[in-house]
Structure 1
Amino acid sequence: MTYEPTYKVSLWFRRVLVPIDGSENSMRALDLAEDFSLRYGSKVTVIYVCHNCDDAEVIKKKVEERIGNKIEYELKVVNAGKDSSIANEILKAISEDTYDAVILGARGTSVNSDINIGSTALSIVANAPITVITVR
């Protein structure tokens, strides 16, 4: 029996949000989103949420170096201010737009390498109303 390939999965990942913080885990999440874009035609939005956005240009450069012009993507820089958390701003972005999935690093730039999943990733996994893929 021969099976024809189906691309049902492409409907699950039409619009993908990728929160990044410059950590290697978040860059690997970006690599996975790039692969989804190439394989399934996913539209990728990269979001960098920061309290002090002085390093936004460094993050933009890291994204450009990692992806280049292999895929089209949108990059959003969001200043969380002092009254909000990074997780809350990501969840707000999810609720304000129509994303099908979030791909994010399991842990970011925290100093403690013994932690398997960071507080931001844990909050997104627990509270996002859409599919969440964590990358280690």
Structure 2
Amino acid sequence: MHKILIPVDGSVHSMKALRIASDLAIKYRGRLYILHVLLRGKDARDLMALDISRQFDKPLQQLLNKAISANLGPAPDKLLHKIGQIILDHFAEKAGSQGVEFETLPILGGKPADEVVAMQEKLQASTIVMGARGVTHSDGSTFGSVSQEIFRRANCTCISVK
């Protein structure tokens, strides 16, 4: 079976990547493996800017808005885990609605590129499909630094979606 790893971060690019990965899985009788790595270092403003933030319940939105007002800095891991689970649940729902076989993987907490490459090797995934840009839009380059690192190190086909 064709194994397709899809790292998701709640960005619009990762949602587009899911649609392409789902199409590939259907066409080539594959299975999606949906992975989320904690968005460490991101503050409340970054988290509220995610496309997925519309899925946050009212108390979570209020908490993040207060953190933005207070300029509290990076979000704590407990909050990032909660948001990570919302992201995974949302992407799993979308994958299921597209009729594709999938599995959600446990949330990981290391460096994103390291975690994605290690999971690709562990699963022996033949393809990684991911958004070209994630949560941070630091410059005008086509690819984010995480996707560049993954593409450089992964021993499989890598597809970037913008």
Q: Taking structure 1 as the reference length, what is the TM-score of the superposition?
A: 0.80
For residue 9 of structure 2, what is the aligned residue in structure 1? 21
For residue 97 of structure 1, what is the aligned residue in structure 2? 123
- Give the total of aligned pairs: 121
Give the AA of the match of 1:130.
C
For residue 75 of structure 1, what is the aligned residue in structure 2? 104
Task: Call closer, same or farther: CA 1:113–1:24 in 2, change over 3 Å.
Answer: farther
Q: Residues of 1 paired with 2:5 and 2:95: CA distance?
A: 15
Alignment check: 8 A CA contact 2:84 2:107 kept:
no
Q: 2:132 aligns with which of 106, 114, 129?
A: 106
Q: Residues of 2 paired with 1:15 and 1:125: CA distance?
A: 17
SS for the counterpart of 2:121 is helix
What 5-or-longer segments of structure 2 have no aligned partner?
41-76
For residue 135 of structure 1, what is the aligned residue in structure 2? 161
Alignment check: 8 A CA contact 2:34 2:92 kept:
no
Give the AA of the match of 1:54.
K
Q: Residues of 2 paired with 1:48 and 1:133: CA distance?
A: 17
Q: Taking structure 2 as the reference length, what is the TM-score of the superposition?
A: 0.68
Alignment check: 8 A CA contact 1:103 1:133 kept:
yes
Higher strand share goes to which structure?
Answer: 1
Q: Residues of 1 paired with 2:94 and 2:139: CA distance?
A: 24
Post-superposition CA distance 1:75-94 (Å, at most 9, x none): 113322xxx41110111111
Q: Residues of 1 paired with 2:85 and 2:34: CA distance?
A: 14
Identity of aligned residues (%): 26
Moved more, 112-121 or 90-99: 112-121
What 5-or-longer segments of structure 1 have no aligned partner?
1-12
Give the AA of the match of 1:132.
C
- 1:31 deviates by 0.5
Q: Residues of 2 paired with 1:114 and 1:65: CA distance?
A: 32
Of structures 1 and 2, the one scoring higher in RCO (CA 8 A, sep 6+) is 2
For residue 31 of structure 2, what is the aligned residue in structure 1? 43
Give the AA of the match of 1:17.
L
Higher helix share goes to which structure?
Answer: 2
Task: Call closer, same or farther: CA 1:45–1:92 in 2, change over 3 Å.
Answer: same
